[in-house]
A = this chain, B = another copy of it.
Amino acid sequence: MSESMEDVVTEVQDAICDAVSALDGRAFVEQRWERPGGGGGRSRLLEGGDVIEKGGVNVSIVEGDLPAEAAASMRSRVENLPENPVFHAVGISLVLHPRNPWVPAVHANFRRFAIQGGPWWYGGGADLTPNALDVADAIHFHGVWQAVCRRHAGVADHAAFKAWCDRYFFIGHRGEARGIGGIFFDDVRAETESAPLAFVTDCAGSFLDSWLPLAERHHREPVSDADRAWQLHRRSRYAEFNLVYDRGTTFGLRTGARVASVLMSLPPLCTWTGDDPTPPGDAQRALVDVLRKPVDWV
């Protein structure tokens, strides 16, 4: 069954990179890597494009002994974990940092995790990080993910996954969310793998629907120096979240994962100012309000 998830992530990586490259005009550069403990990955990176300032779309298929630290934290939420667990993980992870501040940054991740001779589960999510509030964009993005969840009601609960996303991507010390959310889920199980796999396959296949129309709509919009400065400020919050809170990042750095892949999510250019800058316009001001108090968009 895990070979099916391998097919999904491999095909979706091609489809996403092809579509993003077609929009940008620039190709992704591929790097293949092997994990010393078993498995490896295929990372694709696009830097310095006209539309994408930096974007990574990474597939990894890794296996091996579960690090003791990971096993300990897993034991509290997973039943029937063997004594010395061997894991198998298949996932696709992507982050796109657009150049134009009016195009939202986006992150998505879909994965299958299994313990040899033990339990398996699916996880993932997709969330949007605009620099300014565009209500139509927010409704479109959340609408796509609501529709996906509704098509898989046996395993997916949109309201719960949306709320989970708002909780997860919260920058505690700033009192605000990283972005305007989407969906986030983990530990998705069922009697057999067919329903969870169908859900995650639909998710991965829906990513382009959720984000590409926003990029096409905004990537040629005029940008003032103040809009750009605000974008670089917002990106510093993105870096703060990923380095301080993100489980995948902090776990990856502690357990010796491939650093370039773990940190590909970090922004191409960002600014930390001493005091919070003033939002340069109404749309940016409206964003800050929404980050402090999440909205149910659909």
A contact residues vs B (CB 8 Å cutoff): 31, 45, 47, 54, 56, 172-174, 232, 236, 239-240, 243-244, 250, 253, 256, 259-260, 262-264, 266-276
Contacts and interface: CB of A to CB of B under 8 A. Distances in A.
Contacts of A268: 271-273
A56 B276 CA distance: 15
Q: Is the interface of A mostly helix, strand, loop or mixed?
A: mixed
Given A172-B253, A243-B240, A243-B243, A260 B275 contact: yes
Copies of this chain, complex-wide, total: 2
Contact of A259 (B54, B174, B236): B174
Nearest to A259: B173
Contacts of A243: 239-240, 243-244
Contacts of A270: 269-270, 272
Contact of A253 (B54, B173, B259, B267): B173
A269 B232 contact: yes
B239 A274 contact: no
Given A173-B256, A174-B259, 8 more contacts: A45-B275, A232-B269, A239-B272, A240-B243, A244-B250, A260-B274, A268-B271, A270-B272
B273 A47 contact: yes
A47 B274 contact: yes
Nearest to A257: B173
